[in-house]
């Protein structure tokens, strides 16, 4: 691990660049629980398990999503890149988050109706494999309340990207989330299940975990969205095509983005949540 300063004259990104042995997204054709835990433990940056959610389950989850009464659509004031959303947002305040968690919790659970409890299958397996290694898994808490478990979102293009280059660790330490225990986690892993996607919508992943000074210099306050492409040009990048049925997870302290969809009429829809070690024996999950 080395601390670097990019050579871009105007904007300099400072932070951690990892060796190539870490900076990879390992690909498998089945869920590899040991590899999942290796990603959580920081042995490797990420993993993608190809085509592990069958079509029947995907169609059922999408049906549950697009027909849910909790579904927020464009007219409900979503950000520019979101077409539809169910879940709680961490972007405003813990009070707002708490209300959204409560309002949506039943419909969040119902996303997996008639799928043979696919979410439980995933969580139970991770829990068991962590327990075999002496670690526990639980939902993250704030002020004595439980966090949301996952969210489901469908995206729209915004120029060159569906989601512009960002990291997902800055927001957790933001002032408005004080009291949420996930702020103590240094290495956060994002977990995604791809339910719908066509051409494009690739994951772009850069080998730089920017530090707080860089985020401040760029004027980021409550999130870390919009790292300039010219400042990222000096860092290695991996581009990973994302297909329906894939489950993937990766270190979200590193800058990443979702590339534009070739056809914006085709949905790119995912379920996602975050995970991370709070201490050497405890893994938290939340969304
Ligand atoms: O959809 C993806 O592949 C990544 C999404 C992402 O980076 C995010 O939601 O923060
Ligand atoms: Fe992200």
Mutate to test the pocket of ligand 1, among 91, 151, 195, 270 (most ligand atoms within 8 A of CB): 270
Note the pLDDT tens digit of each residue in 135-192.
Answer: 999 999 999 999 999 999 999 988 899 999 999 988 898 889 999 999 999 999 999 9
Domains identified in the chain, total number:
1
d(CA 80, ligand 1 centre) in Å: 15
Establish whether residue 270 lines the binding site of ligand 1, counting it when its CB lies within 6 angstroms of any ligand atom.
Answer: yes
d(CA 173, ligand 2 centre) in Å: 15
Contact 183, 177 (CB under 8 A): yes
d(CA 104, ligand 2 centre) in Å: 21
Q: Which atom of ligand 1 is nearest to the CA of 168?
A: 10
Establish whether residue 193 lines the binding site of ligand 1, counting it when its CB lies within 6 angstroms of any ligand atom.
Answer: no
How many angstroms separate the CA atoms of 49 and 271, rounded?
Answer: 15
Mean pLDDT value across residues 263-270: 94
Establish whether residue 192 lines the binding site of ligand 1, counting it when its CB lies within 6 angstroms of any ligand atom.
Answer: yes
pLDDT over 90 (residue 278): yes
Q: Domain of residue 185: give its range.
A: 2-286
d(CA 11, ligand 2 centre) in Å: 21
pLDDT over 50 (residue 231): yes
Note the pLDDT tens digit of each residue in 33-84.
Answer: 999 999 999 999 999 999 999 999 999 999 999 999 989 998 888 888 899 9
Contact 61, 122 (CB under 8 A): no
Q: Which atom of ligand 1 is nearest to the CA of 248?
A: 3
Question: Given the structure tokens 């927020």, which residue do they identify?
Answer: 72
pLDDT at 64: 98
Mutate to test the pocket of ligand 1, among 191, 192, 238, 257 (most ligand atoms within 8 A of CB): 192
pLDDT over 50 (residue 16): yes
Note the pLDDT tens digit of each residue in 89-120.
Answer: 998 999 999 999 999 999 999 999 999 999 99
Q: How confident is the model at residue 6 (pLDDT cuts 50, 70, 90)?
A: very low
d(CA 284, ligand 1 centre) in Å: 19
What's the pTM?
0.95
What CATH number is associated with residue 282?
Answer: 2.60.120.620
Mean pLDDT value across residues 209-221: 93
Contact 206, 236 (CB under 8 A): yes
d(CA 99, ligand 2 centre) in Å: 23
């Amino acid at each position: 691990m080395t601390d670097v300063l990019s050579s871009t004259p105007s904007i300099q990104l400072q932070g951690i660049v990892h060796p190539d042995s870490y900076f990879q997204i390992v690909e498998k054709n089945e869920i590899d629980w040991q590899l999942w835990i290796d990603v959580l433990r920081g042995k490797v940056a990420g993993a993608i398990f190809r085509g592990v959610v069958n079509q029947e389950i995907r169609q059922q989850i999408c049906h549950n999503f697009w027909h849910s009464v909790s579904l927020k659509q464009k007219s409900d004031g979503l950000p520019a890149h979101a077409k539809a959303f169910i879940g709680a947002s961490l972007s405003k305040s813990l009070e707002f988050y708490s209300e959204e968690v409560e309002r949506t919790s039943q419909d969040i659970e119902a996303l997996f109706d008639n799928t043979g409890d696919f979410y439980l299958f995933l969580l139970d397996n991770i829990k068991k494999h962590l327990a075999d290694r002496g670690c526990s898994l639980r939902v993250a808490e704030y002020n004595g309340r439980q966090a949301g478990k996952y969210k489901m979102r469908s995206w729209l293009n915004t120029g060159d990207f569906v989601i512009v280059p960002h990291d997902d660790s800055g927001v957790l330490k933001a002032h408005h989330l004080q009291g949420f225990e996930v702020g103590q986690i240094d290495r956060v892993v994002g977990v995604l299940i791809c339910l719908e996607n066509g051409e494009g919508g690739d994951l772009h992943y850069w080998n730089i975990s920017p530090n707080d000074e860089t985020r401040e210099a760029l004027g980021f306050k409550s999130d870390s969205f919009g790292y300039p492409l010219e400042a990222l040009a000096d860092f290695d990048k991996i581009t990973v095509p994302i297909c329906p049925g894939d489950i993937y997870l990766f270190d979200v302290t590193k800058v990443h983005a979702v590339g534009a969809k070739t056809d914006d009429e085709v949905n790119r829809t995912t379920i996602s949540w975050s995970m991370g070690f709070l201490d050497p024996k405890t893994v938290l999950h939340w969304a």
